[in-house]
Structure 1
Amino acid sequence: MSPSPSSNPLALAAVCLAALMFGLEISSVPVILPALESRLQGDFKDLQWIMNAYTIACTVVLMATGALADRFGRKRVFVLSILAFGLASLLCGLAQDVNLLIAGRALQGLAGGAMLITQVAILSQQFRQGRERSRAFAAWGMVFGIGLGFGPIIGGVILALSSWPWIFLVHGPLALLTLGLALGGVEESRQARAGKLDGAGIVLLSLAVFGLAFLLTQGSSLSRPGAMLMVLATLACCAAFVRAERRSPQPMFEREVLRNRRFCGALLGSMGMNFSFWPFMIYLPIYFHSALGYDSLHSGLALLAYTLPTLVFPPVGERLALRFEPGRVIPLGLSCIGLGFVAMYGASQWAAVNDLAILPGALLAGIGLGITNTPVTNTTTGSVPAERAGMASGIDMSARMISLALNIALMGLILVAGVGAYLQRHLSGVPDAGQVHLWAEQIAAGQGALEGLPWLAGGSAQAALAHGFGWVMLYGGLSVCGLALFSVLTFAPWRRARLGSVS
């Protein structure tokens, strides 16, 4: 049965509201991390897990949800995920303990990942005509971009006018409205021959990602035998995942798709954005708040220089890709992100840093992401046969979420190491390594005035934090430039040009 045209506006509104909620929960929460650290008595590792619980949980369900929705009905799974997201948001808003908030964020991530995948499936199923389909996907992408781009300022405004729980509680009424629109507008659809669920692959991949994130965030607190055991368990999960995928009749990652040069080049673009741009947004509010002295509202406004270009420049990236092909535009966009991070690094290392000096680099990084994102999304799904588009989208989303989760943890590790190196160099006397690491974690969490911190020769806790952020910015710039190089080598656009000239 074809979808009723009268129900399509309601369906599009439901999908767009769901995209808005998902985007807001990624970009608005970083602004309130300093407030959460002080009001819930959480430490630096807790702040990392408040974000990582969401991204890792999203990764867990991304590949599973597609098969479940195909089998049991896309509308049914979409409605259940909206309801679960609203309830999990209420749990987060009512949490009075950091561990309960982390648990709520994990539940939010599970529901959000399911919501994200079913949105794409519903749009593809319900909007089949060319022009209508293009407009629906354009509206969905724009609203998703608004959620990501304006999340920091929305979070800052909510925190300035009210309190941090409303960052989460606002999704209660939004979820109810989305639920009503979905029930009234989304047509039920399912696949006659739904693929089997790769349960072993999903479990093993999730355990491997969790193990890596746990080692990066909690490894310093583990004993040597405990750390070695965790490393061995994580490596065993990685090896078992590879073996399971080779033996599975319907694996999560088909080898044929991974042999496609255009798909792999675009996948490196997906990873590049989440190696640098998006994980760094988790830490930027701490930099603005504790290193530059901004309040929550001004931190949100400053973050607009970082995020607003991601909303404005995707049409530019799409036009460039049509004219020059994605194999050139995606590496170009990644290179812009890298240069933006290098510029931010230079600004952060000035002796008398101006409050606004970091913004040009942040703007350039945002422009780079805006240029990269649309060509990446279009190329990952457009470079494979139609029957594999769902798998390609799932691989793309999984690569993004895994890269994001691991780099949230890795950037935190680099930040603490940079702050610790500064303290080692400037602390008077011979400091104990364990105590220095503890001070470094507290400074990285935004605690500028620490009890028991001795006099810093020629420096301060604020300068130590700026030094640590310099390390993170340099890592972000070098890593994304490296992935830009790998991407252009994978695309090898000169091969296509040579073939075109021969023909």
Structure 2
Amino acid sequence: MQASEIERDAVQVAAVAIPLRPQRNTIALIAVCLAAMMFALEISSVPVILPTLEVVLHGDFKQIQWIMNAYTIACTTVLMATGTLADRFGRKRIFIGAILLFGVASLLCGLAWNSAVLIASRVLQGASGGAMLICLVAVLSHQFPEGAQRARAFSAWGIVLGIGLGFGPLVGGAIIALANWQWVFWIHVGLAAATLALAVIGVQESRDPQARRLDGWGMATLSAAILGFVWFITQGADGGFTRASGLAVLAASALSLALFYTVETHIAHPMFDFSVFRVRNFSGALLGSVGMNFSFWAFIIYLPIYFQRALGEGPVAAGLSLLAYTLPTLVFPPIGERLALRYRPAMLIPAGLLTIGVGFFLMWVGSRTGHAGALAVLPGCLLAGAGLGLTNTPVTNTTTGSVSADRAGMASGIDMSARMITLAINIALMGFLLVEGVSLKLQAALGAHSADVSWNALASRVAAGELVPAQAAAIMNAAAMSAAQFEAISRNALIHGFGGLMLYGAIAVSLLGVASFCIFRGKSIAS
């Protein structure tokens, strides 16, 4: 072959290859967006079907909590480890493996015949979902390294993630109304298959030749601490928090947390670099992450029970009511970004947290206006969602932007881990507070007719939405009370219990907003 022919062939190959790169990037972006959609839907659509799961799987209130917490705790466990594994063995390889596992776990969730099997399946789903989340950020960063394309890619990912979170309640409500609860999970089997095919075609493999070692001790001690604290809050109320077994679990969790700190401050490449907490912008923004999970995201787990059981709405109506809570999180992030540029995150993040607090306070006021229905709390839902929308993006940008570029990935990992850890703990804590609030109201109304009743067990059933549980038979017989009369008392107790959660959310997020403002305004400590 002549040299001129070789040159001509090379030009033709190059002419074909040049448009292939943008096309491949587009396919990779679609795969990333579908993975983000699946992750978001599993957070926001499942809470709508929890009242149904409690009935069809014959679960109790604590099992309902664990259906959500199994996902969040497993997700937290793998977040930091996945980045290291992806750097070492290949981001595309780990991403594809995570998608495949997520599809299998979703299939198993839909096949579950009791709460225990569903919880176990949710552990696998949460671990694979967390791995997907970390990998998709790494894939975007490698596939779109700079310029306007990078900005558009991350913007598209953020929009799709927000759509999944915002419309998840409506999707879950529609599925439960038109089909059955299994399809809330099985829908992800098809999505996972499509995502897998697109990822194989479009995602480019990449590795970090300087990948650090896996921090196994850090993972183990942090996971043990979180699991122990959540178990103590969720299970401790049954036998009393001062019971020997409960105190032993609490002590083991505290020891695990101390060991985690010791490990992370003495190894060469920790997954948590505690020195970043000395950067006031990082710490102030991190309190924004914590504040959102002390209020907004933890409460979304219980809000469907409020709309469906306390207020008597159907699944679709409850999903529509939840849109008032979630849709503002889609509308307000662009506004939050512009306000952050004008007024600085140091002002906007605390202001956003206080806006969430005012929203929860309005929800509490609305819940006390008798049986006015969902309309009474929707203004507070809208305001809380707006506050979340104003806060979320500035928090993410500030945590990663307040440290040097080589520590941005670690800072992002700490931010995401803080979100998942505080979400898991507050799901458990809000569940405990709800049961306690319902129990106190039931005792006040029915205490004179009690006959060796376990108030905690009775309140747990009512809090799960079973307004006339089997445990109520003795009280109804002693008081010559009809089931309709007991249901009215239970409904009132449930509304009262939810009012307590709304007030708790308002106080907690407002205090964290004030703390965030004080840290932002404080003096920097050299990192």
Query: Please, what TM-score do these two structures have when normalized by structure 1?
Result: 0.96
Change in CA separation of 1:270 and 1:431 when aligned onto 2, cut-off 3 Å: same
Aligned-residue CA RMSD (Å): 1.8
Contact 2:369 2:376 in 1 (8 A): no
Pair 1:36 & 2:53 matched: yes
Write the distance in 1 (CA, Å) between the matches of 2:416 and 2:357: 22
| Corresponding residue number in structure 1 for 2:208 | 191
Write the distance in 2 (CA, Å) between the matches of 1:231 and 1:430: 36
Deviations 1:398-431 (A, max 9, x none): 0000010000000000000000110121114164
| Corresponding residue number in structure 1 for 2:367 | 348
Deviations 1:13-50 (A, max 9, x none): 00000000000000000000011011010100010000
1:378 maps to which of 392, 397, 411: 397
Pair 1:205 & 2:225 matched: no
| Corresponding residue number in structure 2 for 1:234 | 253
Deviations 1:300-327 (A, max 9, x none): 0000000000011100000000000000
| Corresponding residue number in structure 2 for 1:54 | 71
| Corresponding residue number in structure 1 for 2:182 | 165
Pair 1:419 & 2:429 matched: no
Q: Residue 448 of structure 2 aligns to a residue in which SS?
A: coil
Write the distance in 2 (CA, Å) between the matches of 1:490 and 1:126: 36
Q: CA deviation at 1:5?
A: 2.6
| Corresponding residue number in structure 2 for 1:442 | 461
Deviations 1:58-108 (A, max 9, x none): 000001000000000000000000000000000001111111000000100
Q: Residue 27 of structure 2 aligns to a residue in which SS?
A: helix
| Corresponding residue number in structure 2 for 1:132 | 149
State the number of aligned residues.
495
| Corresponding residue number in structure 2 for 1:330 | 349
Write the distance in 2 (CA, Å) between the matches of 1:34 and 1:123: 37
Q: Residue 54 of structure 2 aligns to a residue in which SS?
A: helix
| Corresponding residue number in structure 1 for 2:302 | 283
| Corresponding residue number in structure 1 for 2:334 | 315
Deviations 1:195-251 (A, max 9, x none): 111111110000000001101111123471211211111111111111111211111
Change in CA separation of 1:57 and 1:313 when aligned onto 2, cut-off 3 Å: same
Q: CA deviation at 1:350?
A: 1.9
**One-letter code of the match for 2:91?**
R
Pair 1:86 & 2:86 matched: no
Map 1:102-501 → 2, pairs under 5 A: 102-222=119-239, 224-429=243-448, 431=450, 435-451=454-470, 452=473, 453-454=475-476, 460-492=489-521
**One-letter code of the match for 1:178?**
T
Query: Please, what TM-score do these two structures have when normalized by structure 2?
Result: 0.91
**One-letter code of the match for 2:415?**
D
5+ residue gaps, structure 1, are 497-503
Write the distance in 2 (CA, Å) between the matches of 1:212 and 1:276: 18
Mean alpha-carbon deviation: is it higher for 39-48 or for 422-431? Answer: 422-431
Change in CA separation of 1:433 and 1:52 when aligned onto 2, cut-off 3 Å: farther
Q: Percent same amino acid among aligned pairs? A: 57
Contact 2:321 2:374 in 1 (8 A): no
| Structure number with larger C-alpha Rg | 2
**One-letter code of the match for 1:448?**
L
Q: CA deviation at 1:255?
A: 2.6
Change in CA separation of 1:311 and 1:38 when aligned onto 2, cut-off 3 Å: same
